[in-house]
Amino acid sequence: MINIDKIIKQRRLSKKDIAHKMGLSRASLHRILSGNPTLENIKKLAAVLEIPVSELFERQSRDGFYCPHCGEMIRFSK
């Protein structure tokens, strides 16, 4: 998740605040952000930050974005 620190700063939140709103410990949130998060946790994080899931990832083209973990291109469908 490329933009998470930038988004957290823009929202004037701490990771502790986000973990609390997600119902997690700060350590659990750290594991999610530095590991391979589930789609459920990605959706929860986006909801807490009040942003679309796509904003959590770096866009590389108009067609999609690259997964920060495996490097695979995830394409948008029309």
pLDDT-derived band at 22, boundaries 50, 70, 90: very high
Answer for the pair 19, 28: CB distance below 8 angstroms, yes or no. Answer: yes
3: pLDDT strictly greater than 80:
no
Which tens digit of pLDDT belongs to each residue from 27-75? 999 888 887 788 899 899 999 999 888 787 765 556 676 676 677 777 7
Distance in angstroms (rounded) separating the CA atoms of residues 8 and 27: 17
pTM > 0.85: no
- CATH architecture of structural domain 4-75: Orthogonal Bundle (1.10)
Q: Tell me the domain boundaries of the chain.
A: 4-75
